[in-house]
């Protein structure tokens, strides 16, 4: 029990007194013992329910426990919200990465397809210049490289040198090399694919290996005509198989 001062006469009285013994001031009317949480009226001392609306009055200890419980519940809800947010953010990030990867891998495939077409055209032209010089076959496309005037070059190397020094052919060779460099850079960004794209990545890698061999034949021919022809046939076959495999995963225009 503690002593408090009467709001009216200022004499010390018990904090449990319902009325000041000196002046008769009714203590509960001042709210000294709290207010009802339901109706807001001041409470009488030592009551279990509000004398005005009947709302149960919980002991202060229970109120404190309820407050603690409410705090813990709020903390749990907050933790759940945070975890849900983290999971959602991870899902969004994963979805964005997959979309970006899909766009990049398709760009790489299209770039390689363009490069293959250009490299194959150059390789076939090299083969034709080489072959037509040896077998002295006239052809509107190769004559300017295989002939010196009306006569065929006696050495196929002279024909190949004439082809390699042609301005248009040099420009095409540069485009093939630029394409190759761009493909290599893009393929480097495709390493460690998302799980959903592992098969696509392997198919692209298979096509890339054949593509690189075709580029080598186009920009650096070597060996004999027979070995060059055999290599060209083998690479064309590998490219065809790899391209058909790619069509399982990608749609081409």
Closest to 18 in 3D by CA, of 29, 7, 4:
29
| Per-residue pLDDT at 249 exceeds 60 | yes
Average pLDDT over residues 42-54: 72
Q: pLDDT at position 13, please?
A: 81
Cβ 148 vs Cβ 114: under 8 Å: no
Token duo for residue 181? 């460099």
Who has greater pLDDT, 41 or 250? 250
Percent of the chain surpassing pLDDT 70: 80
CA distance 87 to 36: 44
Q: pLDDT at position 177, please?
A: 98
pLDDT of 177-217, one tens digit each? 999 999 999 999 998 888 888 999 999 999 999 999 999 99
Q: Which residues contact 93 (CB under 8 A, 6 or more apart)?
A: none
Distances from the Cα of 87 to the Cαs of 39, 95, 114, 158, 233, in angstroms?
Answer: 44, 12, 41, 67, 52
Q: pLDDT at position 93, please?
A: 47
Who has greater pLDDT, 60 or 73? 73
CA distance 167 to 153: 20
CA distance 46 to 27: 12
19 φ, ψ (degrees, to nearest 5): -150, 140
User: Residue 36: which region, alpha, beta or left (left: phi > 0; alpha: psi -120 to 50)?
Assistant: beta
CA distance 125 to 121: 6
Q: pLDDT at position 218, please?
A: 98
Terminal Cα distance for the chain, rounded: 92
| Per-residue pLDDT at 159 exceeds 80 | yes
Average pLDDT over residues 115-143: 97
- Mean pLDDT (the chain, rounded): 84
Average pLDDT over residues 47-62: 70
Q: pLDDT at position 89, please?
A: 46
- For the purposes of burial, counting CB atoms within 10 Å of the CB of 107, is it exposed (0-12), middle (13-18) or buried (19 or more)? middle
pLDDT of 67-112, one tens digit each? 677 778 777 777 777 665 555 544 444 566 667 888 899 899 999 9
Q: Determine how many CB atoms are found less than 10 A away from the CB of residue 98.
A: 15
Q: pLDDT at position 74, please?
A: 79
Q: pLDDT at position 54, please?
A: 77
């Amino acid at each position: 029990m503690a002593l408090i001062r009467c709001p009216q006469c200022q004499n010390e009285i018990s904090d449990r007194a319902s009325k000041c013994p000196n002046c008769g001031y009714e203590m509960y009317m001042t709210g000294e013992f709290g207010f009802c949480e339901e109706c807001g009226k001041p409470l009488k001392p030592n009551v279990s329910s509000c004398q005005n609306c009947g709302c149960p009055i919980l002991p202060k200890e229970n109120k404190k426990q309820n407050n603690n419980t409410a705090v813990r519940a709020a903390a749990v809800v907050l933790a759940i919200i945070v975890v849900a947010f983290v999971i959602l953010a991870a899902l969004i990030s994963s979805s964005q990465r997959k979309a970006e990867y899909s766009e990049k891998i398709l760009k790489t495939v299209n770039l390689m397809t363009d490069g293959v077409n250009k490299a194959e055209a150059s390789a076939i032209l090299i083969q034709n210049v080489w072959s037509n010089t040896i077998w002295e076959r006239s052809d509107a496309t190769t004559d300017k490289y295989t002939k010196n005037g009306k006569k065929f070059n006696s050495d196929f190397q002279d024909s190949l040198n004439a082809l390699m020094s042609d301005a248009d052919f040099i420009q095409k060779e540069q485009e093939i090399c630029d394409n190759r460099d761009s493909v290599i850079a893009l393929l480097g960004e495709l390493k460690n694919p998302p799980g959903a794209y592992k098969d696509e990545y392997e198919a692209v890698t298979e096509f890339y290996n054949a593509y690189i061999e075709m580029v080598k034949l186009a920009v650096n021919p070597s060996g004999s005509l027979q070995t060059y022809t055999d290599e060209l046939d083998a690479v064309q076959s590998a490219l065809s198989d790899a391209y058909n495999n790619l069509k399982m995963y990608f749609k081409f225009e």
